[in-house]
Amino acid sequence: MTPSSKPNHVDAGWRFDNSYGRLPAAFYARLNPVPVRTPKLVVFNAALAHALGLDPDVLKGDEGAAVFAGNRIPGGAEPLAQAYAGHQFGFFTMLGDGRAILLGEQVTPRGERVDIQFKGSGRTPFSRQGDGRAALGPMLREYIISEALHALGIPTTRSLAVVTTGEQVFRETALAGAILTRTAASHIRVGTFEYAAARGNTDELRALADYTIQRHFPDLSADDNPYLALLEAVMARQASLVAQWMLVGFIHGVMNTDNMALGGETIDYGPCAFMDAYDPNTVFSSIDHNGRYAYGRQPQIAQWNLARFAETLLPLIHEDSQEAISMATTAVSGFADTFRQDWLSGMRTKLGLQNQEADDHALVQDLLACMQRHGADFTNTFRDLASGSLPEASIFQTQDFKQWFERWQARLKRQPDSLEVSCRLMNTHNPAIIPRNHRVEEALAAAVERADYAVMQNLLDYLGTPFQDPPEEAGYHLPAPPSAQPYRTFCGT
């Protein structure tokens, strides 16, 4: 056997092409992840690995532990930390990957370009006071919730692997350290543009904008004004994304501009959580004292973030700054309508409606108001509506709900398709299972405290098919018992 035909046991299928590293040098710092003491692969997403063109059999053992810990850099990778800025709770700051490293862009068998990024991989030039590390619990939490969103059909970064590092990280107490490998269409954020604009170098800004167009919206390069078209296209993706969050009761929790990805994926799972009882004021994040990122404010905040994005593009949109402002303002003010259309169309589907009537918005709003008055569970109320026979307890017995129900039934009859078709539509769009906060915590506790990953795996299995009813006795569909403490989530942990 000649050397070249010898099987290469460590060819895991990496095919890197690192286009981000061809941007002007101001956009990143090149460095390798900081190696860790004793890496151990504790969670591995074999299905995702396969879709990326990676060989799960090669990566599931020690090779995966070494690679996903950053201890072994696969051939073709050109690791870097990305520079960016962002408005955090309304205030502008220079940021950057303080604990993340972009390993490179994997080109998949389908020709897609996917960022492979480590989170918790050590200090970088952007770490500020941080230790560059991550604790196991929050990395597992990101794994569970990002994979749940993916299964719900919502654009999101994904989770490929979690390794424990064998090192401790110090937060309020000493915790097990871990690294998450996440994948993304890209990590270009509103904050990346804010960084470019803050540097005041129009050539760099244009290079970033051209790169973003090429990577995410290649059709726009032929547009008369590609940068205005970029703004509009990013807005459309964000409107659709936030509408999809709203339709499943997802609260991102920290919609800072550095956590808004221009490719339109959900990114940065810190204090996010799903709402149980419907209340637009719901906030889980321990630091969101004013409810800036409450469930019901998400569309407005998305628009606010897009206005920050629009500001960065002004010098590219038109040479006359007044003209540029006027064009960008018109574009951004269109967000509310686009969002409302996406949301209403999703709500129609949730209610089994396939045609449109002028009163549909009011029909939905009246249901939501009724749910809020009675503290009804968001997920289960919609799921139960499709069941035909309504459950005995709770909201379904109230007078105001019964009146609404009659209206809805009458409305359902005013469309061409049968009730069976409507039911099927509802059952394929109203999830039976979401990552309930207490079930996520239960899975994390088993993994972190007892190294028992079976609870998490079981939860992930059910979350992977969210439109199938889980077995009743498993209780995955139930909200937390009323005795449970109010749920709190944390950033940057």
Q: Which of 13, 89, 92, 131 binds ligand AMP (CB under 6 A)?
A: 131
- Could you give the maximum distance between any two Cα atoms of the chain, in Å? 81
User: Does the footprint of Mg ion cover residue 489 (CB under 5 A)?
Assistant: no
Mark the segment that binds Mg ion (CB under 5 A) among 113-121, 253-261, 289-297, 368-376.
Answer: 253-261
Closest to ligand AMP by CB, 119 or 350: 119
Residue whose entry in the numeric block shows the structure tokens 């918005």: 361
Half-sphere exposure of 436 (CA within 13 A, CB side): 23
Q: Give the residue from 242, 221, 239 showing the smallest Cα distance to 230.
A: 221
Between 259 and 380, name the residue whose CB sits nearer to Mg ion.
Answer: 259
- Reported for 223-232, long-range contacts at CB under 8 A and 24+ positions apart, including other chains, are 225/317, 225/318, 225/327, 227/313, 227/316, 227/317, 228/313, 228/317, 228/327, 228/328, 228/331, 230/313, 231/306, 231/309, 231/310, 231/313, 231/317, 231/328, 231/331, 231/332, 232/331, 232/334
Look up residue 237 and give its two tokens: 């993706």
CA-CA distance, 76 to 308, in Å (whole number)? 35
Angstrom distance (rounded) from CA 4 to CA 465: 44
> Measured from the CB atom, is 145 or 376 closer to ligand AMP?
145
Q: Determine contact, residues 399/372, Cβ cutoff 8 Å.
A: no
121 φ, ψ to 5°? -100, 20
Sequential DSSP letters for 155-208: -B-EEEEEEEEEEEEESSSEEEEEEEEEEES---BHHHHHHHHHHT-HHHHHHH
133 near ligand AMP (CB under 6 A): yes
Quick note: the x/- pattern for ligand AMP over 270-309, rule CB under 6 A, is: x---------------------------------------
Q: Is 108 in the site for ligand AMP (CB under 6 A)?
A: no
**Amino acid (1-letter code) at residue 243:** A
Does position 259 interact with Mg ion (CB under 5 A)? The reply is: yes
Out of 97, 204, 342, 384, the only residue in the binding site for ligand AMP (CB under 6 A) is 97
Could you give the C-alpha distances from 7 to 2, 270, 343, in angstroms and in order? Answer: 10, 42, 52
DSSP structure class, residue 470: P
State phi, psi for 217 to the nearest 5 degrees. Answer: -140, 60
Instruction: Report the residue from 142, 147, 268, 276 that binds ligand AMP according to the rule CB under 6 A.
Output: 268
Is residue 142 a contact residue for ligand AMP (CB under 6 A)? no
Position among 24, 280, 315, 492 found at the interface with ligand AMP (CB under 6 A): 492
Question: Judged by CB under 5 A, which of 268, 288, 342, 377 binds Mg ion?
Answer: 268
Q: Which residues are catalytic?
A: 258
Residues in 299-358 at the binding interface with Mg ion, rule: CB under 5 A: none
Piece of 64-72, 129-137, 155-163, 432-440 that binds ligand AMP (CB under 6 A): 129-137
Instruction: Using CB under 6 A, pick the residue from 96, 177, 263, 299 that binds ligand AMP.
Output: 96
Residue 95 binding partner per list ligand AMP, Mg ion, none, with a CB distance cut-off of 5 to 8 Å that depends on partner kind: ligand AMP
**With respect to ligand AMP, which residue has the nearer C-beta, 94 or 445?**
94
Between 133 and 216, whose beta carbon lies closer to ligand AMP?
133
Q: How far is the CB of 150 from ligand AMP (least distance, A)?
A: 20
Which of ligand AMP, Mg ion, none has residue 115 at its interface (CB below 5 to 8 Å by kind)? Answer: none
**Measured from the CB atom, is 268 or 377 closer to Mg ion?**
268
Q: Which of 304, 292, 322 is nearest to 235 (CA)?
A: 304
Can you tell me which of 67, 95, 185, 316 binds ligand AMP, judged by CB under 6 A?
A: 95
Stretch that binds ligand AMP, among 13-21, 128-136, 283-291, 361-369 (CB under 6 A): 128-136
Residues 6+ apart with CB under 8 A from 267: 156, 157, 184, 187, 189, 259, 260, 261
**Total number of residues binding Mg ion (CB under 5 A)?**
2
Q: How far apart are the first and last CA of the chain?
A: 51
Residues that bind ligand AMP (CB under 6 A): 95-100, 127, 130-133, 254, 258-259, 268, 270, 491-492
Residues that bind Mg ion (CB under 5 A): 259, 268
